[in-house]
């Protein structure tokens, strides 16, 4: 399973990269806004740091604008994957971009049929949002399970990115289901490496080590 980080903060991206587990980055307009920096500066900084795919979202809502933005975005760096929302216009943009060989990530997916449509339109990646479904008392990971089943059944090549991840359990369930990618906020990424028994065990080792005579 590939690990992407879901952030636009360059410090968090550098830290994740240093941890040796970073395969790519996903951003969205809200995450870009949180940096307080101009859009292009943020994207150039990220693409200069990361070798893998960097998802960057369009803000147009009609096909022509989405396609125009996508073509401008991929000129910034060859690792840019254009994030397109799953709407009727988005589907048309996905189709046009896939025919031009531009990589896409179909975003804001909340139903398995939306994911099926995204794959049929030629999306490179599809992003079901699990946390936002959990927030309204639905099981977000059940959606991922259904999407994986459909893609597997019809041998679709679109890769599933588990997005809107809120906790390590989402990551565990994604791995057990065989999801292609999980995109994780920095805070959850740090949690993944932690366990209370690891902390207790390490403290005990160091306390005991302090009792070892120096000579």
Give the pair of three-digit tokens for residue 64.
Answer: 């022509």
**CA–CA separation, 159 vs 189, rounded Å?**
21
Lay out the site mask for ligand G3P across 71-110 (x = CB under 6 A, - = otherwise).
Answer: ----------------------------------------
Helix or strand run (H / E) with residue 70? helix 63-76
Nearer to ligand G3P, 4 or 151 (CB): 4
Q: Does 69 bind ligand G3P (CB under 6 A)?
A: no
In this structure, how many other beta carbons lie within 10 angstroms of the beta carbon of residue 77?
15
Query: Which residues in the 134-193 window bind ligand G3P by CB under 6 A?
Result: 163-164, 183
**CA–CA separation, 171 vs 162, rounded Å?**
8
Nearer to ligand G3P, 181 or 210 (CB): 181
Give me the catalytic one of 34, 37, 68, 83: 83
Q: How far is the CB of 6 from ligand G3P (least distance, A)?
A: 4
Nearer to ligand G3P, 136 or 212 (CB): 136
User: Could you identify the residue written with the tokens 């254009």?
Assistant: 82
Find the part of the chain contacting ligand G3P (CB under 6 A) among 63-71, 89-97, 126-134, 168-176. Answer: 126-134
In this structure, how many other beta carbons lie within 10 angstroms of the beta carbon of residue 129?
19
In this structure, how many other beta carbons lie within 10 angstroms of the beta carbon of residue 103?
18
- 120 tagged catalytic: no
Active site residue ranges:
83
């Amino acid at each position: 399973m590939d690990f992407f980080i879901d952030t636009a903060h360059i410090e968090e991206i550098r830290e994740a990269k240093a941890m040796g587990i970073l395969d790519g980055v996903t951003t969205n307009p809200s995450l870009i806004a949180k940096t307080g920096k101009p859009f292009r500066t943020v994207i150039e900084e990220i693409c200069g740091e990361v070798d893998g795919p960097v998802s960057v979202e369009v803000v147009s809502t009609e096909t022509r604008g989405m396609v125009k933005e996508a073509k401008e975005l991929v000129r910034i760096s060859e690792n840019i994957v254009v994030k397109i929302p799953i709407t009727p216009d988005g589907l048309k943009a996905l189709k046009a971009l896939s025919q031009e060989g531009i990589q896409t990530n179909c975003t804001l997916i909340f139903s398995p049929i939306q994911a099926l449509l995204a794959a049929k339109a030629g999306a490179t990646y599809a992003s079901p949002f699990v946390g936002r479904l959990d927030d309204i008392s639905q099981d977000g990971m059940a959606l991922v399970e259904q999407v994986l089943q459909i893609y597997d059944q019809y041998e679709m090549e679109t890769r599933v990115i588990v997005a809107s991840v809120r906790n390590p359990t989402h990551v565990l369930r994604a791995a057990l289901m065989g999801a292609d990618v999980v995109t994780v906020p920095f805070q959850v990424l740090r949690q993944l490496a932690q366990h209370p028994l690891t902390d207790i065990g390490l403290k005990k080792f160091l306390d005991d080590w302090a009792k070892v005579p120096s000579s």
